[in-house]
Amino acid sequence: MPTGDLLRSQGEAQEALHSCAAKAASNQFGRKVFLRAVVEVSNFCRENCAYCGMRRDNRDLARFRAHHNELAELIIHHRPASVTDINIQTGEDPVAVREVVLPLIRTLRRETPLGISVCLGTLDTALYSELKKAGASTYIIKFEIADPALYAKMSAPGNYKERLEHIRHLSASGWRVSSGFIAGLPDQSDHELLANFTLAGALPLDGCSVSPFIPGDETPLAAAPIASIDLTLNCMAGLRLMRPDWVIPAVSALNLAGPSDGYRRGLRTGANLVTINMTPSDVRGDYLLYKRDRFIMTEERILAAIAAEGLEPSLQSLADFYHSQKRANSSSVLKSVATAA
């Protein structure tokens, strides 16, 4: 498990840490990086997180729900050639899930070979089942903050206990589950930050992200300092060394925390998943996670960053990777049973 000293490392110690993390990723995954796209379907949200511009108390935000037909046309006929997976994302908006996301998943499952992941917040168990039956296989649900007191202070989604119960339920019901946490929240202590690693290691996850705290426009924390890019990257490296087998994304917010080279440095610390933004441009500015002036990751930017770091896009989808991993694990169990017999 990482220590506070490790997460605050600089200079040669930091270089050694990042090099070890990159080697761990390379040993596990080679030079391949999974490449997916994201479409942001709705910015309606019933939650009120202090760090998110889509919080329900933001009355100045123009709310939208994209149309199923428009998104299907975009993804089926106009997606970048390098994309193997699609992530469908919303604020916590069950209406959009029923009216847009479910029919979109069914269409994509029928018309494309894409792996499908969703990031939709906490829903009821029946809706989780419908989404899985429709053809999604990975659920992204970040636990955000591992310290219960800080979780409550930041008005993070629902409540702490509920969030963890949903993560465990999703894994137990057959989903591949990816989670994540925020580094560098205002006044976050090393103890509170390190708790994220303990919790991540205890949860039934297949992947985990680290997002730098970005003081979001139109939030109570707009005047707070931005997270240190070095702290964020050290957290990513610590996560990779803790779990070499996890899929760890380079999140777009690395471009905001480290404008010159934050994203590429993320790839150097063992990240092995990148995401192209395919949200229609007419609504993208209102998907207000951080700033209205967003840094959009296009295919050109993504492929350039991958190539510059000596990496290459995986031809295998993330969904197929998880499926082959499951088959390999099942085979290993059968062999163990046969040997024991």
Question: What is the pLDDT at residue 290?
Answer: 86
Cβ neighbours around 162 below 10 Å, total: 11
Q: Is the pLDDT of residue 313 over 80?
A: yes
Mean pLDDT of 78-87: 96
Split at pLDDT 50, 70, 90, the class of 323 is confident
User: Distances from the Cα of 260 to the Cαs of 70, 77, 117, 256, in angstroms?
Assistant: 34, 33, 30, 9
Q: Where is pLDDT greater, at 335 or 307? A: 307
Question: What is the pLDDT at residue 337?
Answer: 36
CATH assignment at residue 276: 3.20.20.70
Sign of the alpha-carbon torsion through 171, 211, 286, 70: negative
Record the pTM. 0.94
Number of domains in the chain: 1
3-state secondary structure of 290: coil
Percent of all residues in the chain with a pLDDT value above 70, rounded to a whole number: 95
Split at pLDDT 50, 70, 90, the class of 340 is very low
Q: Is the pLDDT of residue 272 over 80?
A: yes
User: Which residue type occupies 164?
Assistant: L
Split at pLDDT 50, 70, 90, the class of 324 is confident
Q: Which of 17-21, 38-42, 173-177, 259-263 has the lowest mean pLDDT?
A: 259-263
Range of the domain at 246: 4-340
Burial class (CB in 10 A: 0-12, 13-18, 19+), 6: middle
Q: Where is pLDDT greater, at 259 or 180? A: 180
